[in-house]
Amino acid sequence: MIEFTNVTKTYAGSDALQAVNMKVESGELFVLVGPSGSGKTTLLKMVNCLNTPSTGTVAIDGVDVSSVNVRKLRQEIGYVLQAGALFPNMTVGENAAVQLLAQGWPEAKRRERVRSLLKQVGLDPDIFMDRMPSELSGGEAQRVGIVRALAVSPKMVLMDEPFSALDPLSRRQLQDLVLRLHKELDTTIIFVTHDMSEALRLADRLAVIHEGVLLQVGTPTEILAEPANDFVASFFDDDAKQRHFLTQVVAAGFGRPVQGGETVLPASATIYDWAALLRDQPDAVVASGKTALAPADLIAFMATLNGGVR
Amino acid sequence: MNSLLNYIQHNGSDILSALWQHIAISLVATIITILIAIPLAIALINHRKAGEAVLQVASVIQTIPSLAILGLLIPIVGIGTVPAIIALVLYAIMPVFSNAYAGLTNIDPLLDEAADAFGLSRRFKLLKVQLPLAMPMILTGLRIAVVMIIGTATLAALIGGGGLGTYILLGIQTNNNNALIVGAVLAAVLALITSALVKVLSTVSPRRLLTGAAVVLLLGGGIYGYNAWQSSRQETVTVAGKMGGEPELLINMYKDLIEQDNPNVHVQVKANFGGTSFLFKGLRSGKIDIYPEFTGTVLQSLVRNGGTVPHNPQTAYTHAQKLLSQQYQLSYLPPMAYQNGYALTVRADTARKYKLKTLSDLKRVPQLKAAFDPDFYQQADGYPGLQKAYGLNFSSVRTMEPALRYEALAKGHVDVTDAYTTDPQIREYKLVVLRDDANFFPPYQGAPLMRNDFAKKHPGIVRSLKRLRGKVTTKQMQELNYEVTVKHEKASTVAHRFLVQQGLIKK
């Protein structure tokens, strides 16, 4: 568990971060999202001491990071940077093994570990081990970047806008990779992005930061359904438009008062959740707040949507 | 072209050793520069202000003319290769440091951060990330520095550092184009080859680079050590001479005489060592032991004598000897016979036609056309004084470059010119030197100069050199100069042959 307590950061008299308090649970894929300059990267770098809070503390499993040996701390945390940031003078194999080397692994073990990880991220080690970074595509380079971060089987991986320079297709593939690896490896991942759809796609939970202020922490659906303020709402506006909540169906005038016996869905439920339910129980009536909605209401609501639901 | 090949053939081994000397000076200067500049750049990576300051200082040093640096260094470290190398290092630090520093501080911040974020040790980060990434810049700086060092190292010759500059200076001093071409072309070619070599090095892996550097260092050190060991077995006496063929002849005579009489002494000859002040300072600081100096030069530029220069050669010598001993604790051995002073010359046919023998005779022939070296024309001890002393009044007087005036005289464009009495052109064009019957010109007689303590410690050497007293007439000196500077024979050969002819040494 990573705990940020009253973290502030002041640059030249102005606040880059204001009294941030939040917790990242172990094993979580936690996304820090916000426009550029919001302070999300600053917050991320405080975890491995690339940046230090002006006041407040960052603690991993109850231990303040400022109280431990920095090199030792960093050797146990994976880090993925923008566009891979591979060392151009080293081969893929050498790049991926950098942290293993820092930890003092013997050569044969390093090679073995890197080869198996390359396979895991979909790169054939026979082909890629001895390539130079300049011979890789952006997507391949970032896969190697991920291998480098995962090499020491860290309890925690920090990712700083890792896919922002990639084309949409590669970005999607790498997002899938991150989701898959997260499931397979049981690692805490803190992922920084300014792209809200990426945040929504990846996050177990996400934190919205704007101008150094932590606005909201929650699951994607919680945030979409009940944005804490106008900024959060507008930030996710484009995505929210493509999502439709039961609350919207009720607001559109459908349904009847709850009588009991309906399947109660949470306030954050979308019409997709509803549709998924109907696939199994075609006659189910669901409740949202004090309103009950019948299957026919779904069809009628969808008919009102311009262009239909995508 | 033919004469160039001839020259190279005759001086092949000397040229080669000058080339080696040049390479050695440049190599040592380059290595020292690297050892200073690159660790400095590394140390200052995280101290940008100090880095900028060093950059400023290095730039300022580079704006100082190299000759001025050499001059400043002489009183501190003396003459020879040491000040030359120091000056070269001072120059080369700027390009090496600035490029290395720029390379090391302009590494992509993302990569810098990556190195930190993985908990790499500082050493690992430096060796595996920072230096490799800065390497192209470092090598660029090195290339600039090496080319500059090789070019500037030609100036080492000015202070007795040797190298290819010796030939360039020799070429300029003695109007010997072959020597000039050999020196300049070899220096240029050396710079080009080395620059290309550094470029090739940039493609070699760092490990091989290090091994190669170690081998070169070991080899260089070994050769240097062997040479040092060899020379330490005998007492070495350093005899130096000014620029030109005549001093080189003299010091080779000194060498032959000393070595014949004192078998345990090895004489190191440093020809074309530089100008008067370089040699004088070098002698006083003990960098050199003996050099030939003119009585006239001693009295006019080296000692304080109240401005009067005796016109009688014997008086001039004793005067110079006394003042040198009093003011500088130097021993001035008796001079040779020849005089290398100012004189006026005419063609043989002119002399015959007007029956000219002395300078006084010129008063009778104001119709002659005169051409003088610009300096001689202006200096009080030149034409203006001469005019007063002899009442000369030529109808036509003009100034002419020293190199041209002999040819103009020989071709009949002019009738009278100034000359140095031992100039080989006098013999080459069969000119007549007019006798200075009023003793107007100060006497210029060459004699060995050394420190008093050296003379006291080496009575054998003093005895050997005293055997040259009154030897070598002006005519003989002209002939010897002719053989060296016009016919391009080796000075050591000519000197040796002369001494054997004169019965001063055995074969």
The distance of B115 to chain A (nearest Cα, Å) reads 9
R_g (Cα) of chain B, nearest Å: 28
The 10 Å CB-count burial string (b at 16+, else e) for B22-38 is bbbbbbbbbbbbbebbb
**Pairwise CB contact (< 8 Å): B119 & A82:** no
Residues B165 and B177 in one domain: yes
Residues B375, B304, single domain; the answer is no
Domains detected in chain A: 2-239 (3.40.50.300), 246-304 (no CATH)
- Encoding tokens for residue A95? 């790049």
Q: Would you call A99 and B114 a contact, using CB atoms and an 8 Å cutoff? A: no
CA triplet A110, A112, A118: central angle to 5 degrees?
100
In DSSP terms, A10 is beta-bridged to: A15
Q: Which residues of A touch B116 (CB under 8 A)?
A: 50, 74
Assign residue B470 a region: left if phi > 0, alpha if psi is -120 to 50, beta otherwise?
left
B324 and B353, same structural domain? no
In this predicted model, which residue has the larger pLDDT, A265 or B248?
B248
Q: Estimate the crossing angle of helix B206-232 against helix B2-43, to 10 degrees.
A: 120
**Contact indicator for B155, B70 with CB cutoff of 8 Å:** yes
Asked if the structure places residue B220 within a domain, the reply is: no
Q: B368 and B334 in one domain?
A: no
Contact call for residues A131 and A144 (beta carbons, < 8 A):
no
Residue B467 and residue B424 in one domain? no
Type of residue at A270:
T
Q: Render pLDDT for A266-306 as a digit per residue (tens, 0 to 9).
A: 766 777 777 777 777 777 788 877 888 887 787 777 767 65
DSSP code per residue over B78-95? -SSHHHHHHHHHHHHHHH
Residue type at position A276: A
B7 and B134 inside one domain? yes
- Asked whether the predicted pLDDT for residue A20 surpasses 90, the reply is no
Nearest alpha-carbon partner for A16 in A46, A55, A42: A42
B339, B313 contact by CB (below 8 A) = yes
Q: Give me the interface pTM, i.e. the ipTM.
A: 0.74
State the pLDDT confidence band at A192, using cuts at 50, 70 and 90. Answer: very high
Asked whether residue B218 is assigned to any structural domain, the reply reads no
Separation in Å, CA of A73 to nearest CA in chain B: 8
Chain A partners within 8 Å of B120 (Cβ) = 98, 101-102
- Nearest by CB: A102 against B110, B113, B120: B120
- Least CA distance to A50: which residue of chain B? B117
Q: What pLDDT is stored for residue A306 in this prediction?
A: 53
For chain B, say whether A50 makes contact (Cβ under 8 Å): yes
**Distance to chain A for B32, nearest Cα, Å:** 27
- H or E element at residue B472: none
pLDDT tens figures, B192-203: 998 888 888 777
B64-94 tens-digit pLDDT? 887 788 778 777 776 777 888 888 898 888 8
- Whether B280 and B335 share a structural domain: yes
CA-to-CA distance for B312 and B308, rounded, in angstroms?
A: 12
> Model confidence at A307, in pLDDT bands (50, 70, 90)?
very low
Residue B327 lies in a domain: yes
Query: pLDDT means per 10 residues in chain B (507 residues)?
Result: 76 80 88 91 88 88 82 75 86 90 89 88 86 88 90 81 81 75 89 87 73 80 73 77 86 90 85 80 87 87 76 87 90 90 89 89 89 80 84 86 81 89 85 86 89 90 89 88 83 90 83
Mean pLDDT of A164-188: 88
Integer Cα distance of A43 and A49 in angstroms: 10
**Do A98 and B108 make contact, defined as CB atoms within 8 angstroms?**
no
Strand-pairing partners, residue B362, are none
For testing contact with chain B, the best of A50, A72, A87 (most B CBs within 10 A): A87
pLDDT one-digit tens code per residue, A108-142: 999 999 999 999 888 999 999 999 999 998 889 99
Amino acid at B336: M
- Structural domain includes residue B230: no
- B118 to A88: CB separation less than 8 angstroms, yes or no: no
Mean pLDDT of A9-22: 84
Give the domain CATH number at B265.
Answer: 3.40.190.10
SS3 B435: strand
The CA distance from B392 to B364, in Å, is: 9
Which residue in chain B has the smallest CA separation from A91? B128
Task: Tell me if A83 and B110 make a contact (CB, 8 A cut-off).
Answer: yes
- The number of distinct structural domains making up chain B is 3
Q: Does residue B459 share a domain with residue B314?
A: yes
The CATH number of the domain holding residue B15 is 1.10.3720.10
Alpha-carbon gap, residue A149 to A75, rounded angstroms: 10
Same domain for B64 and B153: yes
A79 contact B CB<8A: yes
The domain boundary residue, chosen from B433, B462, B487? B433
- For residues B27 and B143, membership in a common domain is answered with yes
CB contact under 8 A, A72 and B120: no
Q: For chains A and B, count residue pairs whose Cβ atoms are closer than 8 Å.
A: 57
Binary contact (A82, B110; C-beta < 8 A): yes
Query: What confidence category does residue A310 fall into, taking pLDDT thresholds of 50, 70 and 90?
Result: very low
Residue B99 domain-assigned (yes or no): yes
The long-range contacts involving B10-16, CB below 8 angstroms and separated by at least 24 positions, are: B10/B488, B10/B489, B10/B490, B11/B182, B11/B490, B14/B490, B15/B167, B15/B182, B15/B186
Cβ separation A102–B108 shorter than 8 A: no
Distance from CA of A80 to the nearest CA of B (A): 8
Does any domain span residue B210?
no
Domain span at residue B67 reads 2-202
Residues B328 and B359 reside in one and the same domain = no
Rounded Cα–Cα distance for residues A194 and A38 (Å) = 9
In chain B, residues with a C-beta closer than 8 Å to the C-beta of A77 are 117
Whether residue B185 is contained in a domain is answered as: yes
Mean pLDDT of all residues in chain A? 85
Chain B residues touching residue A148 (CB < 8 angstroms):
118
Do residues B451 and B426 share a domain?
no
Q: Assign A308 a pLDDT band (cuts: 50, 70, 90).
A: very low
Contacts of B113 in chain A (CB under 8 A): 50, 81, 85
Chain B: closest CA distance from residue A50 (Å): 7
Measured between CB atoms, which of A88, A89, A102 is closest to B118? A102
In angstroms, the Cα distances linking A147 to A79, A94, A137, A184 are 10, 11, 15, 14
Structure confidence at residue B254 (pLDDT):
92
Contact yes or no for B113 and A75 at CB 8 A: no
**How distant is the Cα of B198 from the closest Cα of chain A, in angstroms?**
19
pLDDT of A59 strictly over 60: yes
User: B132: nearest CA in chain A?
Assistant: A89
Whole-model pTM: value is 0.63
Interior/surface letters B284-301, b for 16+ CB within 10 angstroms, e for the rest: eeebbbbbbbbbbbbbbe
CATH code for the domain of B369: 3.40.190.120
Residue B109 in domain: yes
